[in-house]
Amino acid sequence: MNVQVWGDKPMREDDTSGPLQTHWARVRAALKSEIDEVLYRNWIKPLTFVALRGSEVVLAAPAQFKRDWVESRFADRLRELWAAECPTVRAIAIIVDGRKAPVAVKPAVEIAPPPRVEPAAPAIDERDDIGSPLDPRFTFENFVVGKPNELAFAAARRVTESNGVTFNPLFLYGGVGLGKTHLMHAIAWHIRARQPRRRVIYLSAEKFMYQFIRALRFKDTVSFKEQFRSVDVLMVDDVQFIGGRDSTQEEFFHTFNALIDQNRQIVLSADKSPSDLEGIEERVRSRLGWGLVADIHPTTYELRLGILQAKTENSKSIVPPKVLEFLAHRITSNVRELEGALNRIAAHATLVGRPVTIETAHEVLHDLLRANDRRVTIEEIQKRVAEHFNIRLADMHSARRARAVARPRQVAMYLAKQLTSRSLPEIGRKFGGRDHTTVMHAVRKIEELKTGDKQFADDVDLLRRMLEA
Ligand code: ADP
Ligand code: MG
């Protein structure tokens, strides 16, 4: 068996050595140079690195109030610094760990799965190492269904209900924080509990890539393939990260085809539809769309309120209904931020010992509220930039390549990337059907010009501030 290879140094989420700790050391060092010495010592130094879960870095603080304070003051900066170290990092989660300065705490999410029914299956544990841990809160019961996610939810349920395969693959896509990971974990929990004989593997695309590269290094790609090819349900989260890596993409595709040929269920998630995925070969892309493609739409007010009510139902909440309505109304970006806002409000209320009002919600959440108000559209950006450089709006879409129009167009693409959550292909489409590589080139070009030309940088920043205002 290949115990050596897999058991030797698997990417355990609680690994305390290795590159992640080095990244964390560098993030701390960077922050240390930016903030007051005392602040650093009191708040940042006590944080420990727990895990990298998908695109989320999990840190632990020694007490709830420290956690809340760090989150409100430094979460954004920590995320930026982490993203500079590992570009795949998109979010920071800070948990509370009461133990005294542990080197590493067990991730709160890594609880044992429901007991297995088959006792004589020695290989199972080590095989399960290829998966990522499941969050115990991410179950079907805890998922609030509304118009925006009902198709994805129904499809996820279907996967758990049939023994065979109904649609393959199930491809879930939607913006960040809308519940893709939640649904995938829910599928895994459900099958593990009800059909323990079915082997379900859930893992992030990053982990898939990591293991493949590892297998290459140990010249053990055969057992790598075997491991994946013996599962009944394979779920790979955030497959947009596989884009661009030719060899892993190839391997992913082989594994994918082999499983589909054997009639095994595959569930994938991404932040874009198969046809919008960047850096993925055309034949792979079209194959990804063969099954059921279910998108999770941005939340509606009703869904947001429903989620808030569900989240406060069990905890004897000190957040009155009026405040929940206020949150559902104002925090529109995604469910993760909505949850973050609710936690912050609840923490505040506990700390000051007074019930929350809309006024306190305003105060506690001013940064979040501001970010949620800022909804710039690509059309506005094009209009402002065209006015600023005194060119025709139509030239934002035209094929003219003269520098006098091409440069402002690049500035507009750059700002569209910075200020909206649109993907590169989406931005390209809005600029007269240009390719995503053109947008990427524009973004790089403007960044380059900004570093070399102070006046130009000021100009672009001014535009940016006007658009944000
Ligand atoms: P994604 O993977 O799409 O970025 P997640 O699945 O990580 O998003 O969801 C972000 C957070 O929002 C999680 O804590 C999840 O439990 C919560 N969440 C998202 N959608 C729902 C929903 N419909 N009901 C309850 N919680 C939700
Ligand atoms: Mg996710």
| Second CATH level (architecture) for the domain 301-374 | Orthogonal Bundle (1.10)
Q: How far is Cα 343 from Cα 315, in angstroms, rounded to an integer?
A: 12
181 Cβ inside 6 Å of ligand 1: yes
Nearest atom, ligand 1, residue 138 CA: 16
Query: What is the CATH number that goes with domain 3-105?
Result: 3.30.300.180
What single-letter DSSP state applies at residue 280? -
Angle between helices 403-419 and 454-468 (to 10 degrees): 50
Residues 21-50: b if buried by 16+ CB within 10 A, e if exposed? eebbeebbebbeeeeeeebeeebbebbbbb
Nearest atom, ligand 1, residue 144 CA: 24
Q: Which ligand is nearest to the CA of 313?
A: 1
Q: At the top level of CATH, which class does the domain 140-296 belong to?
A: alpha beta
Q: How many CB atoms lie within 10 A of CB 362?
A: 12
What is the predicted pLDDT for the residue at 206? Answer: 86
What is the predicted pLDDT for the residue at 405? Answer: 95
What is the predicted pLDDT for the residue at 12? Answer: 39
Q: Which ligand is nearest to the CA of 180?
A: 1
What single-letter DSSP state applies at residue 61? E
List the chain domain ranges. 3-105, 140-296, 301-374, 378-468
Average pLDDT, the chain: 83
Mean pLDDT for 330-347 is 91
The 48-53 sheet, strands edge to edge: 48-53, 56-61, 91-96
148 Cβ inside 6 Å of ligand 1: no
**Lowest-confidence range among 8-12, 135-139, 242-246?**
8-12
| % of residues, the chain, pLDDT over 70 | 87
Taking only the tens place, the pLDDT of each residue in 360-369 is 999 899 888 8
Output the pTM of the full model. 0.59
The model's confidence at residue 19, banded by pLDDT at 50, 70 and 90, is: confident
Q: How far is Cα 38 from Cα 58, in angstroms, rounded to an integer?
A: 24
| Second CATH level (architecture) for the domain 378-468 | Orthogonal Bundle (1.10)
Closest residue by Cα to atom 11, ligand 1, is: 336
- Whether the pLDDT of residue 188 is over 90: the answer is yes
- Whether the pLDDT of residue 408 is over 90: the answer is yes
Q: How far is Cα 359 from Cα 369, in angstroms, rounded to an integer?
A: 13
The residue whose two tokens read 């290459």 is: 216
Taking only the tens place, the pLDDT of each residue in 78-96 is 998 999 888 888 889 888 7
What is the predicted pLDDT for the residue at 469? Answer: 65
What is the predicted pLDDT for the residue at 326? Answer: 92
Mean pLDDT for 157-166 is 84
Q: How far is Cα 197 from Cα 199, in angstroms, rounded to an integer?
A: 6
- Whether the pLDDT of residue 4 is over 70: the answer is no
Closest residue by Cα to atom 19, ligand 1, is: 179
Q: Which ligand is nearest to the CA of 93?
A: 1
Helix (H) or strand (E) holding 349: helix 335-352
